[in-house]
Amino acid sequence: MTGRLLLVPNTLDLGAAAGAPPIDAVLATGVLAQAAGLTHWVAENAKTTRAFLARVAAVSPLALPLQAITIRELPRPAKGSGAGPPDLAPLLAPALQGHDLGLLSEAGLPAVADPGAALVAAAHRAGIVVLPLAGPSAITLALAASGLNGQSFAFVGYLPVEAGARAARVRELEARSRRERCTQIAIETPYRNAALFGALIETLQPTTQLALACGLTLAGGWCRMAPVAQWRSAPARFDDRHAPAVFSWLAA
C-alpha cells in the first residue's frame, strides 16, 4: 500500500520570534499530532522546516529525533535555462514505499500561493492519496475580515514590480472588479508592502474599497477597509518590514 501526501499547514508568522503566538494557538492539536508522527517531509526550506518541527515537538512528541527525520527540498526552477519543469517524482518515493509524506509551506496552507502545488499534481498522477489538513490561510482570513465581496473573488498573486507595468495591471484588475463585482486579492514580499500600498492608492479610483490585512494571527496584527480616498488622507504604516500583508479591493 502507498502512503499519503499530507498537506500540513504552517503558522503565518514566517518563524518570527517577536509577536508569534504559541503554535497550538494557531494550529489544532490534532494537526500537530499528525505532523509529529511524520518521518518524511518535502518543503521549500529544510532549515525552516526543522524549526517548525521543533515548535511541534514542544506540544506533541516527534515520532523520531529531529535529526533522524528526512526532509527533502522542492527543486527551484532554473532561471533563464529554458529547461522544463523539474521532475518531482523522486520526492514522492517515501509515499510509494508506504510512508505518509508531509508537505509544508513556508506559511499557511501548502499549495495555495505556494510552489508545492506541483508536488500535489505529481502525487495525483502517481495515484497517491492527497489529504489536506485544516489550518490558516492568509488569503481567506484577509478576505473574511475585509467586508468585501466574499461570494466572488480572485487571488491574483504578485503584481509587477516595475511601476508602469504595475499601474497597468492594477487598472486592469480594477476594471474587472467593477465589471464582475469581484474582489481582487494580491500579496507582496513584506519589504515591498509600502511600495505596493502606495501604488494602489495612487492608481485605484477614490471610491474603490481597499482592505489591508497585516500580520494576521500575530500580536498587533490588524485589518482595515476604507475607500481609497480615505486611505490617501490617512495612509497605512508598515512598521514591521517582515510582517506579511494581504491587499484586497473592490471597485464601486
CATH code where residue 179 lies: 3.30.950.10
Give the whole-angstrom CA distance, residue 100 versus residue 205. 50
8 and 127 belong to one structural domain: yes
Give the whole-angstrom CA distance, residue 229 versus residue 232. 5
- Where among 132, 156, 185 does a domain terminate? 132
Mean per-residue pLDDT, 218-232: 94
Q: Which three cell numbers stand for residue 240?
A: 514591521
Domain that holds residue 216: 138-250
**CATH assignment at residue 88:** 3.40.1010.10
16 and 38 belong to one structural domain: yes
Q: What is the DSSP letter of 39?
A: -
190 and 218 belong to one structural domain: yes
Radius of gyration of the chain (CA): 20
Pick the range with the lowest mean pLDDT from 10-19, 89-98, 100-109, 189-198: 10-19
The size of the chain, in residues, is: 252
Model confidence band, residue 1 (pLDDT cutoffs 50, 70, 90)? confident
101: pLDDT strictly greater than 90 = yes
190 and 210 belong to one structural domain: yes
186: pLDDT strictly greater than 60 = yes
The count of domains in the chain is 2
114 and 226 belong to one structural domain: no
- Where among 79, 114, 132 does a domain terminate? 132
